[in-house]
């Protein structure tokens, strides 16, 4: 039986009912609008261009300003049109034709057209984007026969399933007239600091360390939307302060577990507040140990298997994640149907077996009880990764490995792990984005240039793995793709290039005044055009 995410039913079911006892959301669907949505934000990315980096920290704000061709949805095909209204694949898998929405304006008044889509695809998604450079690597041209048609031409067959699955995270469209002949990837680019999009909100103002202010777009293409006049993101890094602001009514919303899990459970019992894990199904995270294979000891699969046997994921699930999540069985979570399988190697919590494997690999304990030391870098982005790092240090010490923790801020961590490779182990929270070829296989495919974050910067290279990943990324049959990804999962859990531990959603705390929230699988990073305030 596939593992399930625990606590979800209790929190979202019981607390969601409290919210629905107010005014039903459909009462606002005909144009009821007004108010300022107050949101807590605990991170402050160096830029807001979601087209060059698929990052939830960027999307949290920018997805209200910049729009993709399509977004995820509950039910049906799982994808809903945004800037594209329809898409038709060719039988040979070498082209995909998009029909685009007409009458759309950029926030500066210019017309949106297929030229913007072609520019974004060829110059940004294909060349610059952290995941897009893999998904769109065989995109050779985008034809624009008219302003509302874009035909993607590929040099090799590519599954339409993959491209459609990639649209929500990887198809953010940029205005060609503001980016052409400029350094698109430069964080200081004016349009990266103050993005101009087609979305329901315009980017009005940012004061670093204080707030970001978005204003209602009066010319938005969707009738009667958006419903909120203004969104104000308050920079609040202290989880306790966020919890207190919820209790005092200063905040309407916090996402991505901006409060501690213990506080979230407590706030769920406060009148007027809801706590939910819904709306994260399309951006489920996996707590993972990243491994630098350049280190001689870690290049030995017996050592990597020993590391996995030394870790108790159930303890992590119960204590660090407070029961919100499921033990990871491999690189694809149980929500990743139709690709997911449990028919892979598993590693029971068994410190004695771990010690035997280390002895077999030739790493005996010294007089101090230690075999060797490792530099451990927990990602600073989330409470869970920091606490997992603390646990990992203790678990490895038990088998004679001295894991020395090094703490860095977010830019420092990304540079050390993904650019300089100055780590032995790192604790990460990696996202599954609707299809293995989008953000999962890039963790295992060799050849990624140094500096690309959340990709294979580990020195792991296996020709068989590369071949398997490439086959799956070009197989146009959905059924055959699924079989290839079963083989991929088997090989991952045999080789253990990195260690998946716990699949977990984040928690949102929401005021009952917020209507029509968490209504799609990646809600925190969607447009919020249909959200209103009671």
Average pLDDT over residues 421-445: 93
How many angstroms separate the CA atoms of 109 and 196, rounded?
10
The CATH number for 324's domain is 3.10.105.10
Question: Is 60 exceeded by the pLDDT of residue 406?
Answer: yes
N-term to C-term CA, the chain: 41
Indicate if 301 and 369 belong to the same structural domain: yes
pLDDT value at position 5? 41
Residue 194: inside a domain, yes or no? no
Please say if the pLDDT value at position 23 is more than 80: no
231, 214 in Cβ contact below 8 A?
yes
* Per-residue pLDDT at 76: 78
308 and 425 assigned to the same domain: yes
H/E element, 164: helix 160-170
265 and 294 in a single domain? The answer is no
In this structure, are 386 and 529 located in the same domain?
Answer: no
Q: How far is residue 189's CA from residue 177's CA, in Å, rounded to a whole number?
A: 14
Is residue 336 located within the same domain as residue 380?
Answer: yes
Whether pLDDT at 508 is above 50: yes
The residue from 179, 207, 231 where one domain ends is 179
CATH of the domain at 127: 3.90.76.10
Here the CATH number for the domain that contains residue 49 is 3.40.190.10
Q: Are residues 434 and 458 in the same domain?
A: yes
Does pLDDT of 463 surpass 50? Answer: yes
**Does one domain contain both 171 and 292?**
no
Residue 22: predicted pLDDT: 28
pLDDT at residue 32, rounded to an integer: 67
Residue 190: inside a domain: no
How confident is residue 111, by pLDDT bands cut at 50, 70 and 90? very high
What DSSP element (H or E) covers 117? Answer: helix 114-119
pLDDT higher at 413 or 1 = 413
DSSP symbols for 332-390: S-TTSTTT----S------HHHHHHHHHHTT----TTS-SEEEEEEE-SS-HHHHHHHH
Q: What is the pLDDT of residues 116-129, one digit of tens each?
A: 999 999 999 999 99
Mark which of 130, 151, 179 sits at the end of a domain. Answer: 179
Maximum separation of any 2 CA atoms in the chain, in Å: 75
* Structure tokens given for 10: 């209790």
- 77, 219: one domain: no
Examine the domain organization and report whether 368 and 266 are in the same domain: no
**What proportions of the chain, in percent to the nearest 5, are helix, strand and coil?**
35, 20, 45
Mean of per-residue pLDDT scores for the chain: 91
Q: Is the pLDDT of residue 200 over 70?
A: yes
Residue 187 lies in a domain: no
Q: Which two structure tokens, joined as six digits, stand for 472?
A: 């799956």
Flag whether 268 is in a domain.
yes
d(CA 525, CA 282): 10
pLDDT at site 182: 97
Q: Name the token pair of 398.
A: 């038990």
Mean pLDDT of 502-507: 92
Tell whether 185 is covered by a domain.
no
pLDDT at 17: 29
Report the distance separating Cα 72 and Cα 411, nearest Å: 29
Please name the residues in contact with 229: beta carbons below 8 A apart, sequence gap of 6 or more.
Answer: 33, 34, 35, 36, 215, 216
What pLDDT, on the 0 to 100 scale, is given for residue 434?
86
Higher local confidence (pLDDT), 42 or 340: 340
Element (H, E) at 153: strand 149-154
Nearest to 429 by CA among 297, 288, 523, 300: 288
Q: Say whether both 205 and 289 belong to one domain.
A: no
Q: Would the pLDDT of 131 be above 70? A: yes
Which range of residues forms the domain containing residue 457?
283-504
Token pair 């005021």: residue: 511
Query: Does the residue 188 lie in any domain?
Result: no
209 vs 44: CA distance, rounded Å: 8
Domain count of the fold of the chain: 3
How much is the pLDDT for 469? 95
Same domain membership, residue 287 and residue 276: no
Whole-prediction pTM: 0.81
| Same domain? 97 vs 164 | yes
Tell me whether residue 193 is in a domain. no
**Structural domain contains residue 224:** yes
């Amino acid at each position: 039986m596939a593992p399930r995410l625990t606590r979800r039913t209790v929190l979202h079911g019981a607390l969601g009912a409290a919210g629905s006892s107010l005014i039903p959301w459909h009462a606002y669907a005909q144009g009821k609008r007004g108010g300022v949505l107050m949101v807590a934000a605990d991170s402050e990315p160096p830029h807001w261009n979601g087209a060059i980096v698929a990052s939830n920290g960027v999307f949290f704000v920018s997805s209200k300003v910049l729009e993709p061709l399509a977004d995820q949805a509950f039910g049906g095909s799982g994808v809903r049109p945004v800037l594209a209204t329809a898409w038709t694949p060719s039988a040979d898998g070498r082209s995909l034709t998009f029909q685009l929405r007409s009458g759309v304006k950029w926030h500066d008044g210019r017309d949106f057209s297929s030229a913007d889509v072609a520019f974004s695809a060829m110059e940004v998604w294909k060349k610059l984007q952290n995941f897009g450079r893999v998904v769109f690597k065989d995109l050779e041209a985008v034809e624009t026969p008219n302003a509302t048609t874009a035909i993607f031409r590929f040099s090799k067959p590519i599954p339409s399933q993959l491209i459609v699955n990639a649209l929500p995270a990887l198809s953010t469209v940029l205005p060609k007239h503001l980016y052409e002949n400029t350094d698109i990837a430069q964080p200081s680019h004016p349009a990266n600091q103050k993005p101009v999009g087609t979305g329901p909100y315009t980017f009005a103002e940012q004061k670093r360390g204080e707030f970001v202010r978005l204003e209602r777009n009066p010319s938005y293409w969707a009738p009667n939307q958006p419903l909120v006049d203004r969104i104000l993101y308050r920079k609040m890094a202290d989880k306790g302060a966020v919890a207190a602001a919820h209790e005092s009514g200063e905040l309407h919303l916090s996402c991505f577990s901006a409060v501690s899990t213990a506080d979230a459970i407590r706030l769920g019992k406060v009148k007027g507040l809801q706590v939910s894990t819904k709306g994260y199904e399309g951006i489920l995270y996996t707590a993972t140990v990243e491994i630098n294979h350049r280190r001689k000891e870690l290049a030995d699969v017996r050592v990597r298997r020993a590391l996995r046997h030394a870790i108790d994921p159930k303890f992590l699930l119960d204590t660090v994640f407070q029961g919100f999540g499921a033990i990871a069985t491999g690189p694809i979570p149980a929500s990743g149907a139709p690709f997911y399988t449990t028919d892979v190697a598993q590693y029971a919590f068994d410190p004695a077996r771990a010690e035997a494997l280390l002895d077999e690999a030739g790493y005996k304990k010294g007089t101090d009880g230690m075999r060797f030391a490792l530099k451990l870098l927990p990602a600073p982005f989330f409470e869970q990764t920091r606490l997992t790092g603390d646990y990992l240090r203790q678990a490895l010490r038990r088998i004679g490995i001295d894991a020395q923790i090094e703490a860095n801020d977010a830019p420092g961590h990304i540079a050390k792990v993904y650019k300089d490779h100055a780590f032995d182990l790192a604790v990460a929270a990696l996202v599954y984005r609707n299809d293995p070829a989008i953000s999962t296989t890039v963790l295992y495919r060799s050849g990624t240039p140094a500096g690309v974050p959340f990709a294979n910067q580990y020195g792991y290279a296996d020709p068989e793995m590369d071949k398997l990943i490439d086959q799956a990324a070009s197989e146009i049959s959905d059924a055959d793709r699924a079989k290839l990804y079963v083989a991929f999962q088997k090989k991952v859990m045999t080789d253990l290039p990195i260690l998946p531990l716990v699949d977990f959603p984040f928690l949102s705390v929401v005021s009952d005044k917020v209507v029509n929230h968490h209504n799609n699988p990646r809600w925190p990073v969607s447009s919020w055009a249909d959200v209103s305030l009671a």
